[in-house]
Chain A
Amino acid sequence: DAMVIQNPRYQVTQFGKPVTLSCSQTLNHNVMYWYQQKSSQAPKLLFHYYDKDFNNEADTPDNFQSRRPNTSFCFLDIRSPGLGDAAMYLCATSRVGGEEAFFGQGTRLTVV
């Protein structure tokens, strides 16, 4: 029944070692979002895809990249994780046309 699935739920990576987080959806939504959420803070938008258009937030570090090979899958790549990148990473999807977003359970990233 899960509609937006994030893998893994918990990820531990070494300082500076590239890591990839994944998100898949069964809703066939055209819009996908990646958010970073640090402890007790609001989700911060990193990227979003509006149909085929990729939107990169101006303050998203260059260290972060995203790929969306097809409608169902989206990846967040962190090229050289630093201690400050430890956070919950949330993926969400929505239909085009101003509709609610559906969130995955998130991936909690720890950098050691």
Chain B
Amino acid sequence: SQQGEEDPQALSIQEGENATMNCSYKTSINNLQWYRQNSGRGLVHLILIRSNEREKHSGRLRVTLDTSKKSSSLLITASRAADTASYFCATENNFGNEKLTFGTGTRLTIIP
């Protein structure tokens, strides 16, 4: 079963603009992770934020986490055509069994 919902489901922006994707989840978590998937390929880990963290940066990526609202956002700044992909949030529960479940995903298209 899916743990999270993401919005928007699809997003198209011009190259150079910023892209923001949101993720909401249902149960308590140990951490939240963001992954990228190019069409027909495996998933690539982007960033992990733990439940006691509120914000994290990695290069052009910025992730926020609000555990009181059970939500997270991923911001990609200065987008590039190569950023075109699907982006998924995934939550690891805090039940102690390392279960990792994915949200519904956002399909991002960067228009050159």
* Contact stretch, chosen from B12-20, B36-44, B61-69, B71-79: B36-44
For chain B, the count of residues having a C-beta within 8 Å of the partner chain is 27
Residue B25 CB within 8 A of the other chain: no
Once bound together, how far apart are the Cα atoms of A58 and B97, in whole Å? 15
| Cβ contact of A108, chosen from B40, B44, B92, cutoff 8 A | B40
Once bound together, how far apart are the Cα atoms of A104 and B97, in whole Å? 21
A103 touches B2 (CB 8 A): no
Main secondary structure of the interface of B (DSSP, over half): strand
| Cβ contact of A55, chosen from B1, B42, B99, B103, cutoff 8 A | B99
B102 touches A42 (CB 8 A): yes
B88 touches A103 (CB 8 A): no
**Given A90-B43, A106-B41, A106-B42: A101 and B33 within 8 A (CB)?**
yes
Closest-by-CB residue of B relative to A31 is B98
By a CB distance below 8 angstroms, the chain A residues around B50 are: 98
| Cβ contact of A96, chosen from B35, B44, B98, cutoff 8 A | B98
Closest-by-CB residue of B relative to A108 is B40
Residue B11 CB within 8 A of the other chain: no
The 5 closest A-B pairs by CB, nearest first: A103-B42, A100-B45, A103-B43, A42-B102, A105-B42
Chain B interface residues (CB < 8 Å from chain A): 1-2, 30-31, 33, 35, 40-45, 48, 50, 88, 90, 92, 97-105, 107
Q: Can you give 17 contacting A-B residue pairs, CB < 8 Å? A: A31-B98, A41-B105, A43-B102, A44-B1, A45-B99, A45-B102, A48-B98, A90-B42, A96-B98, A98-B30, A98-B50, A100-B45, A100-B48, A101-B43, A102-B45, A105-B42, A106-B40
